[in-house]
Amino acid sequence: MNNIVFGQYYPTNSVVHRLDPRVKLLAVIAYIVTVFFCEDYSMYGALFLFVLGVALIAKIPLKVLFRTVRTIVFLVLITSVLNLFFTKGEHLLVSWKFIKIYMEGVERTIKLALRLVLLMLFPAILTLTTTPMELTDAIESLLAPLKAIGVPVHAIALIMSIALRMIPILVEETNKIMLAQKARGASFDTGGPFQKAKAMIPVLVPLFVGAFRRADELALAMDARCYSSVAKRTKYRVMKLHGRDAVAAVVCLAVFALVFLNKYLFPFDEMIVGLFRR
């Protein structure tokens, strides 16, 4: 649970923290789309270096960033095994009884694992460098045109902000409940998978009760302050674009354009292989 990074803000005085949250949010959306178009190892490496560079500029320790990867290790293992044993191809590598592993399956497994890791890293930088309030304002600003057709933009942004804010709170409460149960003799590390799942019941029940209690207290507090999502609300801090936002947008677009150029015009991996063959 301590490995969950989403929703946690890492305060440092960096240029990435000072960027407009709308630019960062759009960059993350474009990044996610770009990762799905990435096919060559060289482009995976380029995106990985790009993420590391942004993390260094944001002054985020790499161990904090890579804790995100640890949360999806189980998902990566499951998808890797499924792709490794169920992907067929022309180049057979291993054949033992009913188990057959093809070169195409190995390559697809590696690329899928890299894609999952990359999909976790850059969005984690967004939440580490942007407060939930800034994310709420950015989402509301970007979705503002939908107000013309009656979409409750402010309510949607508020819900997403509360969800992000509740993640670290629930993680902390889970740790407290587990420590309390261990003090009473409970064990979460022994036995098989079913025993471990059964041992989590004394944790999940008070966790859900506490979550509903917090939600009820938040609703009462908002109601006591006469909060209304349909009222015309003003903002204390008005978001404005600066020169650094334009520079960041240009850099991100250049990196993402490189991936599309590689896919449709210049396949770098094939060019490198051709040079070695010569």
Model confidence over 233-258: pLDDT tens digits? 777 777 888 899 999 999 999 988 88
3-class secondary structure, 45: helix
- Cβ atoms of 200 and 179 within 8 Å: the answer is no
**pTM of the entire structure?**
0.75
Indicate if the pLDDT at residue 220 is higher than 60.
yes
Indicate if the pLDDT at residue 207 is higher than 80.
yes
E strand or H helix at 73: helix 73-86
Task: Please give the single-letter amino acid code of residue 9.
Answer: Y
Per cent of the chain over pLDDT 90 is 14
Indicate if the pLDDT at residue 98 is higher than 60.
yes
Mean pLDDT of 40-45: 84
E strand or H helix at 93: strand 92-96
Structure tokens at 16: 């990435």
pLDDT of residue 30: 92
6 or 130, higher pLDDT:
130
3-class secondary structure, 246: helix
Mean pLDDT of 90-98: 73
pLDDT of residue 275: 45
Indicate if the pLDDT at residue 87 is higher than 80.
no
Mean pLDDT of 263-267: 66
Mean pLDDT rounded to a whole number for the chain: 81
Cα distance between residue 218 and residue 215, in whole Å: 5
